[in-house]
Amino acid sequence: MSLKTLITNSVQYNNWVVNKYIDWLSTKSDEQLNQEVISSFPTILATLHHIWQTQEYWWAYIAENSDFDFAAISAAVTKDEIFNGIKTNSQKLMDYVQSLSEEDLAKNVKIESPWFQCDFSKFEYIQHVIIHGTYHRGQIVTMGRNVGITDAPMTDYNFWNVYKDSEIKSEV
């Protein structure tokens, strides 16, 4: 399997998962989404906001456009803005990756931020975005259980990989 295929599958899977989570969580009450629990972030909605902020931050480097405005995305936003922001960013990343060549994916992008410096390939940053989101979505499932949400959707990679060409293809 080529790097292009692997990363393209990864962003397609990530986009599918993001949509499954947002569709699932959009049926939950504002009270549940904003109920404080002990975790990395105090609420499910705050965790989703963080996922969106992080996706946007890394998008600026992956796309080499430096259009990330931390202040703008950190401002108080509504549930719908967070939901739409995550979905839009995931779709944007998927579309972008599908347009890249194998060489584009292997291109190094140097980052010099106030927090760290690194010089890795685009595909490594893309993998980081996906893994970071997965980590926090796992927290959301646990947070949900603590506020009475027990019907998390099945979003394992293998489930998507097995069924992506059949019954769930229309969702991808």
d(CA 3, CA 10): 10
What angle in degrees, to the nearest 10, is found between the helix axes of 79-99 and 44-62?
30
Kind and range of the H or E run holding 117: strand 117-121
Number of domains in the chain: 1
- Write the pLDDT tens digit of every residue in 74-118: 776 899 999 999 999 999 999 999 999 999 999 999 998 888 999
Q: What is the CATH number of the domain that holds 157?
A: 1.20.120.450
d(CA 53, CA 57): 6
Range of the domain at 149: 3-171
User: Among 2-16, 62-76, 109-123, which stretch is predicted with the lowest mean pLDDT?
Assistant: 62-76
